[in-house]
Structure 1
């Protein structure tokens, strides 16, 4: 058998002969580096000093028994796998051990082939648990860094694109509906770039009249126009060595577009009232929720500027494209505004979550955030119900009902509720599986449930894991 180098096993038993025999088997047949302990207390100290992949422990021992050791090992980091051994096993004891997190329960005297196979599978389980934990730590750190919440395929693909584009200096055009997080995406690009040590400069283009926008962007010299009683450094110069976000760039006047084109082409800025230019090193990120191609056809946006901006496009998904993330987002905003408003222990009812899932969100994540904020502030009790969410009644119709209202009216409440739950589970579990590339263990950990529980749901809703592997 091929040796599994670097694998560690800990054997715990108060019978030294048993330890010696089992250590020989695992060393020879499983390629393990074996450590032994004659008590649970000694085993805990060894685990904390150098966590093994698998622990095999007897149950009946002086002092702390194997069941208590199992429970204490459940909180160890990094995770490991525990196998219980006993010469006096009962069905009740085995059931309790498995409930407490044991991987397997083996009665003495045991068959060598069985113990070898069980240990090898346990080691593989630990390896997967630790890999998944590392992945989730990385995703968690990155998610906190970028500020995004969700696990839908569309969102994960977008975040991955931002991560890959960020280290470069290419100009990026961020497109998407209002409220989809375009500014958040721009900040992610800046934070993950080599320019993060300097603050990103943000320009709200529609908020500034034409002449003020031009002077703000490019600066001016004293006397350049009436009221210019001092020199002013433009935002492009201030952003030298950093990133500048031109928010809602579709609204800038054509005259400013011409000067902006020069900055992108020549990397030079010419302040108003000055003949000389200044060289700048600025990464330009632009955002828009408008149809730039239509504006080009109407002569409202320069085509050459569009191509200069559109070196790399990132399109932010709408909330309609990531419905499975609505519960995660809602819970995130619930926790955020509960802290802000001092409303501890608030929670959503099942009906409220279903209401959020089926409502249309033209304002996307921003609208959902505002809705949850309002509900946290005004909810009279400890449970947020649909009535606390506000919004027109017609928005709360389920999407699957829109095609046939008569069919909806023929449904009982229970039938309609089951239909909504089936739609939610199919969407949520499908997206989670896709994000985990069909890996049920990883998907279960993402969902916060046991692997067996996820498998039951997949079977119940007839979801094929193979179709979600890339």
Structure 2
């Protein structure tokens, strides 16, 4: 049975045009000329398509009223008045998407399909939680604990959809593997999976790398070249470290997500593209929003289906299974006689805090095999990198929780001055390379650029 869509529009002609378009696509359609009438009909709808400017009660008020009645009912807002900021405000208040007027019928259908896909995901969420007792297994992904079971269940559910996914988590937790699992469990699995490391591409080359260029677009462009998005046609683009994308490129990414179209560098020809986008970040994008380094509308386009991958220290129950898996892998590669891990060695692994997450565990097992002399790994075989944990304010003190100033900041130096000294030293060590300096400081490239501009060094 096709979904039922409720159109709320006070202009009768447009209401009729939208109704005919959706009915021709097989949807059941109901229409209302006011918000008050829509509220009486919304309980029969699977999706509401409403104008923001309505008589009496406006579209934002209607959105909030519908959410009070049924928080799961998706609402797509249309607006020809005001600015995009109004539409972003609607998405903050729970709108599934927005359509800036005038819009094409193809754009309308794409937005409706996406909103219904997300609704389907939410409706089945309860059923999936009941199935979390089952241990999902994926190639190269191991997780028996409840947190990873929930992640893998979400992968199975979102995989078949076109929905944009935002993967969040610390470096080394396996965001790349989760992205590949989503692609593998999708109808696009026979098509390319193209990974783009946004940190590794120089800022001045990023636009041409992502979107391609035409012959003569810049000095040295002897031939035309397709970009990463064109290479992924029909498949999946994985944007790793999305927080490092420059603002100018963010505008083009937003257009691809919203319109499914772009132009190559040096070309006026608009190209259509059919790709699914999965993005990943190990930084707080909301902080980037506050600093003005990340577009708010792009954030909401990416954050349709967010998945936070837990760090290894929060799922210690998975460490023994992961360690055994890595041991078998490296024992074959190294020709080692080691066949297992002793209980004491396993306890040592579980007691460690793993700042580098699964990637660090994998490296530790490979290194430990080189030291092992028996058929089992023993505690003395396991050589861990005991890097100091990140300092926590107030953790060093005089016994009552107050920090000792001389152990926290250099004497006579303010927090702002100390931060600037660290930034200058990182730039010195990186020979002026901002990307490398940002990695030394644990910042995104855009966050470092923001701080440099505040220091007057940009």
Structure-1-length-normalised TM-score = 0.53
| Residues in 1 aligned to 2:309 and 2:343: alpha-carbon distance in whole angstroms | 29
- How many matched pairs? 259
1:266 lines up with 2:256 in the alignment: no
Counting only pairs closer than 5 Å after superposition, residues 91-130 of structure 1 correspond to structure 2 as none
Alignment partner, residue 293 of structure 1? 286
CA shift in 2, pair 1:162/1:393, >3 Å:
closer
Query: Which runs of structure 1 show a deviation greater than 2 angstroms over 4 or more consecutive aligned residues?
Result: 344-347, 380-383, 391-396
- Show structure 2 runs of 5+ residues with no match: 1-130, 390-394, 396-458
Alignment partner, residue 163 of structure 1? 156
**Contact conserved, 1:360 with 1:395, CA < 8 A, in 2?**
no
Alignment partner, residue 137 of structure 2? 143
**Contact conserved, 2:192 with 2:233, CA < 8 A, in 1?**
no
Alignment partner, residue 121 of structure 1? none
**Contact conserved, 2:138 with 2:181, CA < 8 A, in 1?**
no
| Residues in 2 aligned to 1:205 and 1:342: alpha-carbon distance in whole angstroms | 37
Alignment partner, residue 356 of structure 1? 349
| Residues in 1 aligned to 2:295 and 2:189: alpha-carbon distance in whole angstroms | 31
| Residues in 1 aligned to 2:345 and 2:270: alpha-carbon distance in whole angstroms | 58
Deviation of 1:380 after TM superposition, in Å, equals: 2.9
**Contact conserved, 2:191 with 2:233, CA < 8 A, in 1?**
no
Counting only pairs closer than 5 Å after superposition, residues 58-457 of structure 1 correspond to structure 2 as 143-145=137-139, 147-391=140-384
2:267 aligns to what SS in structure 1? coil
| Residues in 2 aligned to 1:357 and 1:333: alpha-carbon distance in whole angstroms | 15
**Contact conserved, 2:261 with 2:271, CA < 8 A, in 1?**
yes
Deviation of 1:159 after TM superposition, in Å, equals: 0.2
1:246 aligns to what SS in structure 2? strand
| Residues in 2 aligned to 1:362 and 1:210: alpha-carbon distance in whole angstroms | 29
Larger radius of gyration: 1
CA displacement 1:326-360 (0-9 Å, x = unmatched): 11111111111111111134322221111001111
CA shift in 2, pair 1:211/1:388, >3 Å:
same
CA-based RMSD: 2.1
| Residues in 1 aligned to 2:289 and 2:213: alpha-carbon distance in whole angstroms | 29
The answer to which structure has the higher helix fraction is 1
- Show structure 1 runs of 5+ residues with no match: 1-134, 397-401, 403-470
Deviation of 1:223 after TM superposition, in Å, equals: 0.5
| Residues in 1 aligned to 2:386 and 2:249: alpha-carbon distance in whole angstroms | 45
Structure-2-length-normalised TM-score = 0.54
